[in-house]
Amino acid sequence: MLPYTPYSEILEKIKSGEVSLVARVENFLERIEKKKHLNAFNFIFEDAIEKAREIEAKIHSGSAGKLAGMVIAVKDVLSVKDKPTTCSSNILKNFKAIYTTTAVKKLIEEDAIIIGKTNCDEFAMGSSNENSAFGPVLNPHDNTRVPGGSSGGSAVAVAAGLCDASLGTDTGGSIRQPAAFCGVLGLKPTYGRVSRYGLTAFASSFDSIGPFANTIEDIASVLEVISGHDENDSTSSRLPVPKFSEELTFPKDRSKSSENMKIGIAEEYFGEGLKAEIKDNINQIINWLKNNEFQIVPIHLPHNEYTIAAYYVLTTAEASSNLARYDGTRYGFRAPEASSLIDMYKSSRSQAFGSEVKRRIMLGTYVLSSGYYDAYYRKAQKVRRFIKEDFDKAFNEVDVILTPTSPTTAFKIDEKSSDPLQMYLSDIYTTSANLAGIPGINIPIGKDSSGLPVGMQLLANQFEEEKLLRVSAFIQNNYLRSLK
């Protein structure tokens, strides 16, 4: 099931001259053109070939960085200086960034090649990548189905072989859920592990930048580079960054080995609404983990049922505040026929924002309004604290928690567009991690009877990504490679 080669092995072939980096980049560009019907990219950076020539010379001279020549796509909510940053919205249709996102800058400094900007739900608001001014992204496994959202373009770019890795953003599951739908790895780091500077905000206390890839080695390598404190982001952590790329095996010390690894299973994630085939796949891997001496521990997360409600109250409130800056005054689209300042605000926002963004702005304004602030926003903040406390208690008992990533596999395009509530419930297993600020990863563990990828989620306590990486690597190298 995993015929993929970690980029570190490809780099060795580039060093030896067996593989040409320039030819690799040219091949990716050809594949992007061939697969353009998937609509994964909003913009392609043609200067990638020239970058490849420069970096290949550095590789052969021994002066290249950690990610030398790794071809990476970035979600179109991450700024790259002098390149378009539209957030897949008409309100930023012709906007070009004046600086580069810290996470992307760190990739470039380690000689990664940024090949383009990927399609996404407008301002990262959606679970299907159907809410884009550039049109929907198609699932590479079945073009009649969605890739998941909001980072659908980044997931598809990796799944379809259009790049080595990609960056997405995760506000309530927008890395993990599309990773599950597209059959790739996708990691949401701890809130604060990766600087948000240069990320166009949806909900500032929830947003996280993280990687997609086909191998856990590549996930670890990219995460290691993009993590760390940033003076431009007051919420970024000052904790030292582990060498994630060296944390992929269990130590020989038995006290830290897989035999003492406790994996929590919360009954709240396996109730009504979970597709039977997904449950069966996950039960199969739980039994396999038991047979490999992992300890399976039942746990309880009593406030889990309130996660979707709390998430949408809080994120829409933050979105209504963050998106107030897009008013046609300083940058972005301005309605040409406006007769007054107020009319310009209304016309610009009405014409350029999509329906989902408008819906969330209105919801957010409502829950923050006089008379409803205490009833909704303040209460949701209390629930958020309870959810965090549930996880704190659980991680006193277990090392990681294993759950489904999504209740279903990829659904049909337009299947849920007319029912926002059903669309929002696609994130029922992922939003809790953002509410608690903990890291999570999607691992592809098989396919259903329709040939669609099935995903499984692992969650760990704050700043314990190395636990996720070790367990994921163990599953990848000992379970997934055995699947036919």
Residues with a known catalytic role: 75, 150, 174
CB–CB of 103/195 below 8 Å? Answer: yes
Of the candidates 365, 348, 75, 398, the one whose C-alpha atom is nearest the C-alpha of residue 209 is 75
CB–CB of 117/130 below 8 Å? Answer: no
CA 250 to chain CA centroid, Å, is: 26
Of the candidates 58, 79, 72, 94, the one whose C-alpha atom is nearest the C-alpha of residue 24 is 72
Dihedral of alpha carbons 75, 79, 81, 84, sign: positive
Q: What is the CA radius of gyration of the chain?
A: 22
Of the candidates 21, 46, 23, the one whose C-alpha atom is nearest the C-alpha of residue 33 is 46
